[in-house]
Amino acid sequence: MKKRVLGKSGLEVSALGLGTMNMTGPYGPPQDVREMVALLRSAVERGVTFFDTAEAYGPLENEKLLGEAFEGIRDDVVIATKFGFDFDPDTEQGLGGLNSRPEHIRRVTDAMLKRLRTDHIDLLYQHRVDPDVPIEDVAGTVKELIAEGKVRHFGLSEAGVQTIRRAHAVQPVTALQSEYSLWYRGPEAELLPALEELGIGFVPFSPLGAGFLTGKIDLTTELDASDFRSGVPRFAAEFREANLALVDLIREVATRKGATPAQIALGWLLAQKPWIVPIPGTTKLHRLEENLGGADIEFSVDELAEIDEAAAKLQLTGDRMPKSMLGLTGQ
């Protein structure tokens, strides 16, 4: 597996990471723990070193899963996790809403370390910007945790450019995590230029459009009510036909290059900037192996221009998140 460095931080990770959220939901019921431990270890054996989790995944169960899977091989992996929602670290109960108060960050970080069975977190993200807590206070708290050795790098998730700049002035931001793919290209206008200027890495989540860009979902697919995507506007039946035009485009490129649609979508992301590290998620070994093949896809300048030109002609529709979640994106 090829390696990449997130911005100017010096944090080296595999060119493709692994998003672990769905191992404990929300695209259906939680998976079997033993099977997921085996999958995580299989990923390490195949060269993946970068693993993404959060206290909100499960909730809390996802970090426990990684703690079990990586016990004994902790030095072989880079673990990224996230704080920012209101969980009681003692009772492990969700209290609802956002919480990035300094004292809360400290308490939940200690709880994360226990769940992950480790003495440090490689990359600690603020999961969502808390409008009630100045980002300078958040960055300052993480800076203290870094000085104490509990955390090694600071990240933000779904934050806007001004928030990133303010945080970066207090504690250098190693990585920004947000959605980015051929299906959602919002970061290209302002976010990517700012990250390049500041020397911050970019970690796209949903690089396969929550599975849509793989071609597994068509007009007849019915999403179960327990599947998070059933409430996401862009997956709705009335929008799906228009959005499937992008899948057709990706499939055409895949056929020409002897690859799968998933590999094309991931290879395209990797081709955008050398400091971009996508984190596709999966619960199946054969999908993991397929996704990892995306790191070997190479595009010529002409091929990238052709894809951009064709994609620009498409009328993609539907919000990328439910309206209640769109309100949690930062400025």
DSSP 183: S
Residue 327: the pLDDT is 52
pLDDT (tens digit, 9 = 90+) per residue, 242-289? 999 999 999 999 999 999 999 999 999 999 999 999 999 999 999 999
Q: For residue 35, what are its two tokens?
A: 């099977």
Q: For residue 189, what are its two tokens?
A: 């206008």
Q: DSSP states of 202-218 as a string?
A: EEEESTTTTTGGGT---
Q: Can the peptide bond before residue 29 be classed as cis, meaning omega within 30 degrees of 0? A: no
> What Cα–Cα distance (Å) separates residue 184 from each residue in 123, 283, 311?
25, 23, 11
Could you tell me if 94 and 54 are in contact, meaning their C-beta atoms sit under 8 angstroms apart?
no
The label of the residue with tokens 């670290």 reads 89
- Give me the domains of the chain, ranges plus CATH numbers: 3-326 (3.20.20.100)
Strand-pair category, 201-205 with 173-179:
parallel
Backbone angles phi, psi at 255, to 5 degrees: -60, -45
Residue 329: the pLDDT is 59
Q: For residue 241, what are its two tokens?
A: 């036909």
> What Cα–Cα distance (Å) separates residue 128 from each residue in 7, 89, 168, 178, 298?
21, 18, 16, 10, 33
Number of H helices, E strands in the chain: 11, 11
Q: Please, which residues have CB within 8 angstroms of residue 139's CB and are 6 or more apart in sequence?
A: 154, 166, 167, 168, 170, 171, 173
Give me the catalytic one of 27, 57, 125, 180: 57
Q: For residue 194, what are its two tokens?
A: 């700012």
Regions in the chain scoring below 70 on pLDDT: 89, 323-331
Residue 226: the pLDDT is 80
Q: Mark whether 57 is an active-site residue.
A: yes
Distance, C-alpha 118 to centroid of its chain = 21
Three-state SS at 273: coil
Record the pTM.
Answer: 0.94
pLDDT (tens digit, 9 = 90+) per residue, 206-238? 999 999 999 999 999 998 888 888 889 999 988
Residue 91: the pLDDT is 76
